[in-house]
């Protein structure tokens, strides 16, 4: 038996639980025949170009797993999450989605896991903390999925209003999977460039740096945080950020951080390679991230299947030049450190 014979662990793999799919349908742009028919409230809460609910079923995931040597997927709900729903919808739907995830996990624990979803922690802070407690303590979720930003404001994950959320996660040594959401400014720049193409990678970078500047990371050291899509633009802007921020912090009379401290915090994130793998990206990412912090991810089913196959194929080609131990680390070994229950399955 080789090191890779037990298969990849996909930490960036989405699903649409029935309660979420049904709750999202009235807000999906596919429900309208023309732009003029779309209510203003829906236009205001969605990225340029809008979104349609992708087709998903457990069989779609298992077929993809077989095609790409994936042994286990950790399911998560993607953007827009529950942001477009009212409290009366979002609080019970988050509970129903998490219970669905637990049932799916229990049907085959070696193949399925899930990151819990929460209602908007800005609008419903206590409900969000309660859902974290229920999901991690009772349902035994593999972690929690957070979006980079919630609501219509500019409160990214380092905002002080998220402090109770991070306290609850830190107390449970939680794995936190961060997925980009829509930017605060939804003005259409180019209809051919919806938010996921350009804005999402920037949003990941913005949220990550916000957590560093606000000391969210340093004050919650027990959280293990995964950034999507090879960290978006973060690895490539890290030196720029780390070399300038100390002077900005000093000028604002905020707690000081050195360039070395900032870089250390940025490198301490975990990075999944969904839609961000290949011989142009991976050599830099594996050099930038701390050892053991690069993870396999696919982004099924939101990206077009040919795009996902393209990036996964890029990873396959790149890994041909790695040692067996290096391949195993990216495909499975690093994730096993985050999800030790999979070592026993």
* DSSP notation for 146-172: EESB-SSS--BTTSGGGHHHHHHHHHT
Q: What is the pLDDT of residue 24?
A: 78
Whether the CB-CB separation of 65 and 10 falls below 8 Å is answered with yes
Q: What is the pLDDT of residue 26?
A: 65
Q: What is the pLDDT of residue 38?
A: 38
Q: What is the pLDDT of residue 34?
A: 33
pLDDT tens over the chain, length 345 residues: 344 457 999 999 999 999 998 887 765 544 333 334 434 444 444 443 345 678 899 999 999 999 999 999 999 999 888 877 777 788 999 999 999 999 999 999 999 999 999 999 988 999 999 999 999 999 999 999 999 998 878 899 999 999 999 999 999 999 999 999 988 887 777 777 888 888 999 999 999 999 999 999 999 999 999 999 999 999 999 999 999 999 999 888 888 899 999 999 999 999 999 999 988 899 999 999 999 999 999 999 998 999 999 999 999 999 999 999 999 999 999 999 999 999 876
Q: What is the pLDDT of residue 345?
A: 62
pTM of the model: 0.91
- Secondary structure of residue 129 in the 3-state scheme: helix
How many other CB atoms are found less than 10 A from the CB of residue 290?
13
Provide the angle, in degrees to the nearest 10, between the axes of the packed helices 234-251 and 195-213.
Answer: 40
Whether the CB-CB separation of 100 and 137 falls below 8 Å is answered with no
Integer Cα distance of 240 and 248 in angstroms: 12
Q: What is the pLDDT of residue 30?
A: 40
Q: What is the pLDDT of residue 264?
A: 97
Q: How many residues does the chain have?
A: 345
Q: What is the pLDDT of residue 153?
A: 80
């Amino acid at each position: 038996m080789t090191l890779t014979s037990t298969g990849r662990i996909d930490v960036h793999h989405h699903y649409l639980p029935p309660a979420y799919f049904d709750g999202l349908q009235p807000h999906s742009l596919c429900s309208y025949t023309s732009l003029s028919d779309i209510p203003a409230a829906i236009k205001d809460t969605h990225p340029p170009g809008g979104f349609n609910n992708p087709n998903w079923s457990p069989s779609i995931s298992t077929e993809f797993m077989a095609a790409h040597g994936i042994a286990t997927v950790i399911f998560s709900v993607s953007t827009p999450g529950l942001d477009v729903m009212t409290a009366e919808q979002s609080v019970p739907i988050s509970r129903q989605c998490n219970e669905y995830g637990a049932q799916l996990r229990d049907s085959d624990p070696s193949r399925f896991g899930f990151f819990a979803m929460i209602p908007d922690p800005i609008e419903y802070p206590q409900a969000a903390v309660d859902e974290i407690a229920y999901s991690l303590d009772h349902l035994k979720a593999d972690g929690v999925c957070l979006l980079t930003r919630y609501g219509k404001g500019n409160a990214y994950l380092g905002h002080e209003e998220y402090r109770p959320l991070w306290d609850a996660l830190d107390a449970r040594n939680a794995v936190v999977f961060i997925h980009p959401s829509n930017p605060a400014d939804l003005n259409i720049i180019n209809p051919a460039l919806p938010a996921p193409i350009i804005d999402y990678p920037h949003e990941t970078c913005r949220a990550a740096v916000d957590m560093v500047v606000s000391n969210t990371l340093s004050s919650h050291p027990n959280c293990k945080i995964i950034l999507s899509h090879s960290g978006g633009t973060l690895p490539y802007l890290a030196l720029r950020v780390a070399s300038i921020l100390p002077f900005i912090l000093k000028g604002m009379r905020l707690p000081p951080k050195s360039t070395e401290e900032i870089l250390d915090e940025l490198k301490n994130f975990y990075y999944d390679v969904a839609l961000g793998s290949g011989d142009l990206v991976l050599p830099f990412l594996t050099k930038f991230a701390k050892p053991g912090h690069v993870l396999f991810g696919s982004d099924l089913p939101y990206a077009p299947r040919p795009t996902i196959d393209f990036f996964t194929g890029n990873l396959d080609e790149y890994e041909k030049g790695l040692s067996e131990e290096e391949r195993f680390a990216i495909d499975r070994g690093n994730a096993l450190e985050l999800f030790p229950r999979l070592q026993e399955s």
